[in-house]
Amino acid sequence: MTILAKEDVKQIAETILKQLGGNKFCFMTGAKHLSYSTDETGNPYLGFEFKGCKKANYCRITLMPEDLYKMEFMKIFKHDFKKILIEEGIYDDMLCKIFENFTGLATRIGKVFIVKKQ
């Protein structure tokens, strides 16, 4: 187990958020109360609450030693939580798709095309 400096953990969490889409992701999903730390085995993670999904309201994305991610979706109640889904072995370009498929929430605004009549 490697012990990471707090600055390194923060940098990894910022990178995870950037891979999700940054502030646009937060806007689209209602993500709030973003936090970062390390799990019980020393792996850094980004955690956040989100709105609009009945199945879960909290997500934790952990960077694993293999340089892959683990996503955990949870339902948080007043002082308790229940893990709903755990996906492992996720590449960075799959994070948004897995989030969208599980929650049903869009993570990005689609491009708008204007069609001119001829």
Closest CA relative to residue 83, chosen from 100, 65, 71: 71
Which phi-psi region, left, alpha or beta, contains residue 59 (left: φ > 0; alpha: ψ -120 to 50)?
beta
pLDDT in 10s for each residue of the chain, 118 residues: 668 889 999 999 999 999 999 999 999 999 999 999 999 999 999 999 999 999 999 999 999 999 999 999 999 988 888 999 999 999 999 999 999 999 999 998 775 556 666 6
Whole-model pTM?
Answer: 0.88
pLDDT tens profile 74-95: 999 888 889 999 999 999 999 9
Strands (E), 1-118: 32-38, 44-49, 58-63, 69-76, 81-90
Tokens of 107: 């993570």
Residue count of the chain, please give it. Answer: 118
Could you count the other beta carbons within 10 Å of the beta carbon of residue 25?
A: 22
DSSP code, position 52: S
CA angle 57, 62, 80 (to 5 degrees): 35
- Give the domain ranges of the chain: 6-103
Find the DSSP H helices in the chain: 6-20, 23-29, 95-103
Instruction: Measure the CA–CA gap between 96 and 88, rounded to whole angstroms.
Output: 14
